[in-house]
Structure 1
Amino acid sequence: AQIHRCPLVITYHQDAILLGWKSLVEKCLRWTIERWVLRSADFILFTSQDYAQASFIRPILRGLEDRIYHLPNGVDTVLFSPKKVLPNDYQRCNFEMVDYLVMMVASLDQAHYFKGVEVFLRALEALPHRAKGLIIGDGDLRPHYETLSKALNLEARISFTGQVSESVLADYYRLADVTVLPSVTMGEAFGLVLIESLACGTPVVASNLPGVRTVVDDTKDGYLVKPDNAADLARKIQLLMENPDKSREMGTRGRCKVESRYSWSKVVDQLERIYFSAIVDKQRGYSSSIGIKNKG
């Protein structure tokens, strides 16, 4: 980009929260290659100011504040939209209409260990028996989570679906009474599943983590809970179970918020403005430098 005088816009997705020796390697890379790349960028995009201020790379960004932009993730509000749920939709998923369906969507692999699946399972164990769990996703840790669910006597109360298509995922969001995101570290920076769920009119319960807490309006369209705290997660889910009218209001409010802030049309408009600004700034800088050089 520097050689060809092209603007460099970097999207910083999330901090890499690695374990053991891998964390040492990550720190070395962060303070060498990552530092050089970030400081070479014209603009650096974060999903929220909250996450940018809490990120591991904050020291690297010192002095670059004028290059930082905040752009949330987007969602297809046509695909992910409210729709009436029919009785046979429950039967197709081996649930009953009287069940209270608590849903979690996550990659069940080592790289996404921070998703908090174990926290979810222990919270489900503490909930009334009509609360049923649905975990959508797959990965090498799935057998471990299935074994844990058996150890907690949750076999009859939980279903692992594996990977599903986006259209089926949208159906599951509509079927669910609540979607949870119990992540335990800052490896979670936003929570796309939250805006997908809210777009379908389903309230959410999520960990109070930097970035994630900017998506959830606590007590308005969902609840925030203490990270890695199954008891708090269970309490907030039960609040929704016991207040169906409020739960529906939260879902409706969440849908309106997603349409106004997170629809792809809104996000893409912002992104286009950022790219255009980067191009204009680069051209002005190059023209200015050429002008100075010619005057010499």
Structure 2
Amino acid sequence: MKTGSNAIFATFDPYPSYKGSAIHIEKVTELMASKFPKTLVVSLKKHTDKPLAPGLQHLEFEMEESNYLKRAQAYSAWLDDILEKEHQLEVGHFRDVWSGIPILKRPHITSIFEVNGLPSIELPSRYPYIGESTIEKIKVLEDECLHKCQLIICPSETIKKHLIKRKVLAEKIHVVSNGADIPAPLNKPVGLPDEYLVYFGALQPWQGVDVLLKAMQYLQDKPELKLVICSSHKPKFARPFIKLAEKLSVNDQILWKYQLHKDELHEVIQHAMCTVAPLTECSRNLEQGCSPLKIFESMACKTPIVASDLPVVREILAADKEAKLCRPGRPADLARCIRLLADYPDLRNELSKNAFAKIISNYTWDHINSTLSAIYDNIFKLVF
């Protein structure tokens, strides 16, 4: 089927979905639709029926395949078939190498690689038994995309530094941070504890949810303080963590929620004593970098933040002024920071007030989109 689109946004990710990345995809595709009235979005099969922005067409890759690499290769071939019919495309914005390879085969498409993560770094954390030879082959694909694409967008200086180490031209890398909208005040949901901290997002190893569960052991003298975990995954992905909580004897301190819609999630965040971003000290967070949406959403909800003291976090938040930062991978230190906020309400208020002021000044989606909009306005002048 030929769509007649003049721009394409491609992602090897389900969209729309409950993942934090879906918020970023929504903002970028809305902007693309405003610049290119016939924008085509291609993605994995959606997880939710949330409508897309007006002007967007959507094609979903629906193949069911449990093997990650087989699914990635099949998706790439599927996208290649689509592009064979779309000769009028001017711009191709892609978020991964599996989308990038077929787009970069068409030199008439001005290519933008949005680098949020690299599979050579992320896959060993998700699949510990993946072979080194496979990783080396993936690196070759990454290098092809990084060097052949005409522009790169990434959400943090940490990622930019990593790409420069891989001999990517600094001039073609544009740092465009993540952000958040400011939600309206919402009522506290029925059934939540009187006092709780919240973790929300995905459950990959680098997120540090296991560290947070271990930290709860050090807070057992505060039985009124509960932990609410809002997972963006289906319940089955929480099973290892539920078993760990039982082993640690903290399962009665934890309440699980799954795949909440945005307003439901904001209700939980707004009434939390604090949110926690216990990112681990691993290559995914240190070498590659990230830009945690959970931090921006917490800032926008005026909720105090406890986060791991990592360069990607310090790019956003000032320690002891806008957040409490703890040593990554140290449950006792994480518990110490949580205890400080539990015991000192004035400190909580000061941190959340300062963090909210920063997001208003720098990180609303209006600010972020103005930067991205300028890139798109000059896209044909900026290419290398």
What TM-score comes out, normalization by structure 1 length?
Answer: 0.82
Q: Could you tell me the percent identity over the aligned residues?
A: 23
Specify the SS of the correspondent of 1:93.
coil
Aligned partner of 1:95 in structure 2 is: 193
Distance 1:63 1:132, change over 3 A: closer
Question: How far did residue 51 of structure 1 move?
Answer: 3.1
Tell me the C-alpha RMSD between the 2 structures.
2.2
Q: Which runs of 4+ in 1 moved over 4 A?
A: 1-4
Which residue identity is paired with 2:140? T
The yes-or-no answer on 1:181 pairing with 2:277 is yes
Match of 1:36 among 144, 163, 167: 144
User: Are the counterparts in 1 of residues 186 and 267 from structure 2 also a CA contact under 8 Å?
Assistant: no
Aligned partner of 1:11 in structure 2 is: 114
5+ residue gaps in structure 2?
A: 1-103
Residues of 2 paired with 1:115 and 1:231: CA distance? 17
Q: Trace 1:98-109 onto structure 2 (pairs within 5 A).
A: 99=195, 101-108=196-203
Residues of 2 paired with 1:131 and 1:44: CA distance? 44
Specify the SS of the correspondent of 1:45.
strand
Moved more, 26-35 or 165-174: 26-35
The yes-or-no answer on 1:225 pairing with 2:326 is yes
Aligned partner of 2:226 in structure 1 is: 132
Which residue identity is paired with 2:117? Q
Larger relative helix fraction: 1
Flag the structure with more relative contact order, 1 or 2, with Cα contacts below 8 A and sequence separation at least 6: 1
- Count of matched residue pairs: 267
Q: Trace 1:206-225 onto structure 2 (pairs within 5 A).
A: 206-225=307-326
Residues of 2 paired with 1:270 and 1:46: CA distance? 12
Residues of 1 paired with 2:178 and 2:329: CA distance? 24
Which residue identity is paired with 1:76? D
Residues of 2 paired with 1:170 and 1:94: CA distance? 13
Specify the SS of the correspondent of 1:221.
coil
Aligned partner of 1:291 in structure 2 is: none
Higher gyration radius (CA): 1
Aligned partner of 1:114 in structure 2 is: 206
Question: How far did residue 66 of structure 1 move?
Answer: 1.1
Question: How far did residue 211 of structure 1 move?
Answer: 1.9
Aligned partner of 1:64 in structure 2 is: 169
Specify the SS of the correspondent of 1:102.
strand
User: Are the counterparts in 2 of residues 216 and 223 from structure 1 also a CA contact under 8 Å?
Assistant: no
Aligned partner of 2:291 in structure 1 is: 190
Question: How far did residue 210 of structure 1 move?
Answer: 3.4
Question: How far did residue 43 of structure 1 move?
Answer: 1.8
Deviations 1:18-41 (A, max 9, x none): 143426256313431110111112
Moved more, 17-26 or 34-43: 17-26
Specify the SS of the correspondent of 1:201.
coil
Q: Trace 1:125-164 onto structure 2 (pairs within 5 A).
A: 125-127=217-219, 128-137=222-231, 138-139=233-234, 140-164=236-260
Distance 1:281 1:26, change over 3 A: same
Which residue identity is paired with 1:136? C
Aligned partner of 1:167 in structure 2 is: 263
What TM-score comes out, normalization by structure 2 length?
Answer: 0.65
Residues of 2 paired with 1:33 and 1:105: CA distance? 32
Which residue identity is paired with 2:276? V
Q: Trace 1:216-255 onto structure 2 (pairs within 5 A).
A: 216-255=317-356
Aligned partner of 1:257 in structure 2 is: 358
Distance 1:25 1:201, change over 3 A: farther
